[in-house]
Amino acid sequence: MESKGIIMFNRGEKCLVRAIVCLYSLRKYYDGKVTFFLETPYPKEFDDVCKYFNVDIVHNEEKHELKTLVRKTDMFGNPPYDRTLWLDSDTVVVGKLDEMFDYLDNYDIAIPLFAGWVSSGRHVSARINRFKGIIEDKYIEESLKDHPAVNTGVLSFKKSDKWKKFVEDWVRMADQGSKKHIFISDEVSFQVLYPNIKDWGLKCFIAPTNFNVSVLHDHGQSKDPRVIHFHGQKSVLSVPSCDIFKSTLKIMCDSNIANINSFLKYADKRLAEYLRRTNDPNFVDTTIVTACDPKYVSALAQTFPNWRKYKKIDKYPVIVFVNGMELNDTRLDFLRLPNVQLIPWSKEKDLDDVTDHREEMLSAFVFGPARYVKTEYWLKLDADSYATDDRSFITNEMKQYAFCGHKWWYSRPAHIKALDEWAKGHWKRKLRKAKPMIEDGRIEGRRFYHNTKRTISFIQLHKTRFTKFCVGLLKKRRLPVPSQDSFMYFVANRFAPETIGIMNFKRDYGFVQGRCKEKIIQFSC
């Protein structure tokens, strides 16, 4: 009778917490054989974790010359089982894995499709092309055709002499790529080789994405998830697909399952920061950002107390960009609070070639946060926007997006045409090669209605990293169009439309656009 089991691998310390979570999740759905290959340096108390989960241990030889990812592949050639399922340690198992073994009834290897991608796509094809000169051209040429893209974080295979020979060639190629500093050379080399896997007398089955659900790229296409893959340090991002890792980790830490708390000191940088935030009741990850000038300071004097009363913004750091007034101006006295930072803003000092005052103020909400915000997120509040109740106005759901704002439908046609023209000459291929946005909608008078919703930012939550990315696309300190909303929407739509968050802040979060002084006064009282 054929043996079957799961193998995993660890070298070093930074993946240990994730590996413990993976083992805990695995044992909920699989009670068969598991072997963990371990290489020093790693804390020997991890052996006790393996014993806790009834996992066999194999100690690999020390000081192996292969890089970690290539070393992982090398172990595929002589596994302890006839049928083997490999699991990366940065995964969480959420369902049965039996099919990955069953696929081997008719195939030598089974590997899931990765996020619906294909090898001819921009990302994968660029990686494949880096192997030119390392392997015969016929393999490069075939792999650049429309083959399913794969990720080697989850795969199953049958032990055989043919398989062993394939692994030897795979490792040799991956090692050469690694020495040339090719990114994830183990995975890309398999992508290059598998379309011609018949050359080794083998057959490969492309399994459903359910068995390797990408935390960032799946976008809900996997309807029956079995394994969630967090791709290294992405297990605690502010996206819904990370909730399973966070909740599992909390359960384990609360009961110290497998002595996991003693391993938290080995957490990678992102996980350590997440743990620090989680354990600090006073920690905030968002800065409130607004702006005023002599015209709007009176409106802000009405709305700011309203924000404090209903939305409790005193617990957040607040930045106010001040234009046209000295910071010691008595009209700003209502802002002199411990959590508020007043920053002077002017086109002469902070921008290039800007003459229009409206553009000067809107630009503060792009260049300003990129320069001054220190938190992971920042929330734009227009000076004349106001709160209508005490409901939460910043949620974890919003934090999964590059920005999340109030639903809107149209832009100015001239702005979209100008952004299209800016993109045509850009050094970023994704901007330069994109279909003009003006073709994805209709013009009615002075309005361009998009085929997809956009946002209006009287209130809008942003990832600071995305704001800095937007600024990095500019050659000088001036927006391509005098509209912060349209510029950021255009960039996100061109690079990753799914990162645009649309909410109804008026209905669901108790925040309304101003314009009406009587209403502002009413809700401030």
- HSE toward the beta carbon, residue 284, CA cutoff 13 A: 16
Q: Taking a C-beta distance cutoff of 8 angstroms, is the pair 226, 96 a contact? A: yes
Q: Taking a C-beta distance cutoff of 8 angstroms, is the pair 119, 147 a contact? A: yes
- Positions of the chain with pLDDT lower than 50, given as ranges: 516-518, 520-525
Q: Domain 286-524 is in which class?
A: alpha beta
pLDDT of residue 128: 87
Helix axes 161-179, 185-193, angle to 10 degrees: 130
Q: Phi then psi for 93, rounded to 5 degrees?
A: -85, 130
How many residues are listed for the chain in this entry? 525
Cα gap 92→132, rounded to integer Å: 35
pLDDT of residue 63: 54
Cα gap 242→179, rounded to integer Å: 33
- Any residues with CB less than 8 A from the CB of 134 and at least 6 apart, and which? 173, 176, 177, 180
- HSE toward the beta carbon, residue 400, CA cutoff 13 A: 17
pLDDT of residue 448: 96
Domain 4-270 has CATH 3.90.550.10: yes
Max CA separation in the chain (angstroms): 86
Residue type present at position 298: S
Residue 510, both tokens: 């108790």
pLDDT of residue 179: 80
Residue 54, both tokens: 């009834």
Instruction: Determine how β-strand 318-322 pairs with β-strand 340-344.
Output: parallel
Residue type present at position 481: V
Cα gap 496→30, rounded to integer Å: 36
Q: Taking a C-beta distance cutoff of 8 angstroms, is the pair 153, 212 a contact? A: yes
In sequence order, what are the beta bridge partners of 351? none
Same topology between domain 4-270 and domain 286-524: yes
Domain boundaries, the chain: 4-270, 286-524
Cα gap 488→455, rounded to integer Å: 10
Instruction: Determine how β-strand 286-292 pairs with β-strand 109-118.
Output: unpaired
Q: Taking a C-beta distance cutoff of 8 angstroms, is the pair 461, 405 a contact? A: yes
3-state secondary structure 333-349: HHHCCCCEEEEECCHHH
pLDDT of residue 490: 97
pLDDT of residue 22: 98
